[in-house]
């Protein structure tokens, strides 16, 4: 029996604090405290395409990194103890961008939670371009992420006497 959860954009908003225009996952399938796989369709109407770059629009790297992070945080934010809590980057290591994403491209991103303790989550994330003609996947970006839940960490910090 699987405890996999499938969420569309309106439901994702219940679990993470990213909102338009900075929500970069359309759907996500989550195995809580284990793995999340999202999809994002980058339409020509995205706010950043007209200026990045005129004549040859592409998704900026910071948006791809944010897509990786938003997918990854869903691995633990679907747990009722952490639902809706703010998160913060601790580190993004071994970040690689392998392919340009253009208007109309769809990417599938998979994040794997490798460690979670005391409000610190570590794992790996990979995004692939989905080619509808061939059915092939091509690597877009990847990273090793460390994300914190400050609210959890702050509860663990010893309080000094007044």
Query: Quick check: 31 pLDDT over 60?
Result: yes
Instruction: Tell me the C-alpha to C-alpha distance, in Å, between residue 46 and each of 16, 51, 68, 104, 139.
Output: 21, 10, 18, 10, 22
Q: For the chain, which residues make up each domain, given as ranges?
A: 5-155
Q: If you average pLDDT over every residue of the chain, what do you get? A: 95
pLDDT at position 162:
78
State the CATH class of domain 5-155. Answer: alpha beta
Number of other residues whose CB lies within 10 A of the CB of residue 56: 8
Phi (first) and psi of residue 63, to 5 degrees? -75, -40
pLDDT at position 161:
86
Question: What percentage of the chain reaches a pLDDT higher than 90?
Answer: 90
pLDDT at position 159:
86
Kindly report, residue by residue over 42-67, the tens digit of the pLDDT.
Answer: 999 999 999 988 899 999 999 999 99
Q: Rounded CA gap, 124 and 114, in Å?
A: 7
Q: How confident is the model over 26-40, as a mean pLDDT?
A: 98
Query: Quick check: 9 pLDDT over 70?
Result: yes
Q: 70, 76, 91, 89: which is closest to 33 by C-alpha?
A: 76
Query: Quick check: 138 pLDDT over 90?
Result: yes
pLDDT at position 1:
47
Q: Rounded CA gap, 87 and 105, in Å?
A: 28
Q: What is the SS3 assignment for 62?
A: helix
Residues labelled as active-site residues: 52
Q: How confident is the model over 99-105, as a mean pLDDT?
A: 96
Q: Which residues are bridge partners to 6 per DSSP?
A: 29
pLDDT at position 127:
98
Query: Quick check: 118 pLDDT over 90?
Result: yes
């Amino acid at each position: 029996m699987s405890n996999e959860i499938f969420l569309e954009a309106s439901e994702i908003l219940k679990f993470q604090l990213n909102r338009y225009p900075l929500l970069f996952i359309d759907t996500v399938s989550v195995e809580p405290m284990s793995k999340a796989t999202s999809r994002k369709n980058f339409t020509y109407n995205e706010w950043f395409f007209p200026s990045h770059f005129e004549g040859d629009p592409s998704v900026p790297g910071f948006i791809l990194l944010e897509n990786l992070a938003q997918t990854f945080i869903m691995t633990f934010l679907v747990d009722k103890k952490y639902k809706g809590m703010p998160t913060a980057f601790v580190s993004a290591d071994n970040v690689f961008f392998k392919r340009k994403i253009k208007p109309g491209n769809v990417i599938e991103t998979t994040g794997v939670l490798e460690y979670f303790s005391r409000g610190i989550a570590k794992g790996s994330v990979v995004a692939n371009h989905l080619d509808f003609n061939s059915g092939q996947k091509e690597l877009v970006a990847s990273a090793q992420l460390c994300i914190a839940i400050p609210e959890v960490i702050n509860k663990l910090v010893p309080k000094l006497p007044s």
